[in-house]
Structure 1
Amino acid sequence: MPTDAAAAEPTPQAPRVTVRGEARLEVDPEIARIGVTVGARGADRDATLRDLTRRNAEALELIKSYGDAVERLETGAFTLTPEPARHGRGERVRAYTGRVHLTAELTDFTALGELATRLAEGELTRVDGPWWALRPDSPAHAQVRRLAVQAAVQRAREYADALGTTLDALLELSDTGTDLMPPTPVGSMRMAFAAEAVEAPPPLSLEPQLQTASAEVTARFTVHPPTL
């Protein structure tokens, strides 16, 4: 038989109150991600691969030139796909299409618009994003958890006060919610400028999207027996 207060069933001498505490915060993002797709197409496989290699190297060099503004740079999928001829028999190939996908994570938002614009000026280059987010260890997560706990305690006190009594002890506190809403590419950009443009476009002005951090807890308390 359990003997501790947490395991014992509630009784008139040890009544319980169970409450939920919730909190939400809107905070500025800490990082922004952009996706870059570099492409090449041609009738000759080796020439297409050389063009793709060159353009990929140029994109990587440009991104790396922003130094500490870029916190992470990753290469994703690489594809080189033959396009079969529409007519005729056999395994004739009319063209080859190649793509390399890159992901860059920036912490300096003043450089974000300029970098995205310069990347999109590349030949057969597409830029997607930005996707705004908080870091996994952002202080906002801890702050919103504290607020959720405080909300639970306050709610429990209000119930106890309505009964004319006070809280006695905490029995259980469980995290039942998420800390951060999934990042969404609201207002995302997709750009691909012609390489032969006479004048380069001005850098994009990008406004960071507020991030919503949230937390939800369930708390169980014992209260002093009220006089009803």
Structure 2
Amino acid sequence: MTTDAPTTAAPYGTPETPRVAVRGEARLEFDPEIARIGVAVNARGTDRRSALEDLTRRNSAVLDLIKSYGDSVEKLETGAFSITPELTRHGRGERVRAYHGRVHITAELTDFTALGELTTRLADLDLTRVDGPWWALRPDSPAHGEARRQAVLEAVQRAREYAEALGAQLSALVELADLGAENADSYAASAPAGGMRMAAFAGADSAEMAPALDLEPQRQTVYAQVNARFTMTPPRL
């Protein structure tokens, strides 16, 4: 008893079923969905305990201020914390002159109107530095799916135009390879050029709150790319 050997498709098509390979691309712009700011809270004391107490007080004030914006704040996280002695020469040895404390906080906001007011109020606090904002789309934003769909549509359109130039028509999709769709301004990237940086130092007059910053959200570019292979009817050459 014999069995027929399985047939395999030719990798580059045949005269009866030619293949066409194309690349589809899409580059779309969207309004950002979130903005992230970084806050560095600093403190200084002549001894370790006073530096810690001062840092704790300032950190609590910053956290309370950010939390007061309620649902406008989507995420609030505390990052690195440090207490560092400042050494000075004294005779033949060294002695601790002061202790410097620092804690880093990051906050993500969805209300960009509140963002301008919050950044100003944070920067108005003593020994507080504010960096940002960094604009971004959420990882699961519909914008990424829209870019992928546009890339596929372009691939189909490009392949159809090649086939029609030969007097043929597309007959089947053989392969669709996703080369990635990502936000051009990565969410985890460092601060882009032109990012805001503000700092308030001890002795700043905060009797009257500074006016809120007018921040213009930065449009986000989403890029998608696919490779596609199709079979088509025999061309009329």
Instruction: Tell me the TM-score range normalised by the shorter chain.
Output: over 0.9
Q: Distance in 1 between matches of 2:227 and 2:155?
A: 7
Secondary structure (helix, strand or coil) at the match of 1:178 reads: strand
Runs of 4+ residues over 2 Å off in structure 1: 1-5, 86-91, 182-187, 193-196
Q: Distance in 1 between matches of 2:66 and 2:6?
A: 62
Provide, for residues 121-173 of structure 1, a one-character-per-residue CA deviation record: whole Å limited to 9, x for no partner: 11100000000000011111111100000000000000001111001110000
Q: How many residues align?
A: 227
Partner of 1:107 in structure 2? Answer: 110
RMSD: 1.6
Residues 219 and 2 (structure 1 numbering): CA distance in 2 closer, same or farther, change over 3 Å?
A: farther
Residues 53 and 19 (structure 1 numbering): CA distance in 2 closer, same or farther, change over 3 Å?
A: same
Residues 87 and 164 (structure 1 numbering): CA distance in 2 closer, same or farther, change over 3 Å?
A: farther
Deviates more, 1:155-164 or 1:89-98: 89-98
Partner of 2:52 in structure 1? Answer: 49
Partner of 1:78 in structure 2? Answer: 81
What pairs up with 1:1-228 in 2 under 5 angstroms?
Answer: 3=7, 5=9, 8-183=11-186, 185-194=192-201, 195-197=203-205, 199-228=208-237
Secondary structure (helix, strand or coil) at the match of 2:38 reads: strand
Secondary structure (helix, strand or coil) at the match of 1:203 reads: coil
Q: Distance in 1 between matches of 2:224 and 2:17?
A: 29
1:86 Cα deviation (Å)? 3.5
Amino acid at match of 1:147: Q
Residues 88 and 167 (structure 1 numbering): CA distance in 2 closer, same or farther, change over 3 Å?
A: farther
TM-score, structure 2 as length reference? 0.91
Identity of aligned residues (%): 68
> 1:148, 1:217 within 8 Å by CA — same for their partners in 2?
yes
Provide, for residues 164-221 of structure 1, a one-character-per-residue CA deviation record: whole Å limited to 9, x for no partner: 1001110000111332112453421111134431543211110000000110000000
TM-score, structure 1 as length reference? 0.94
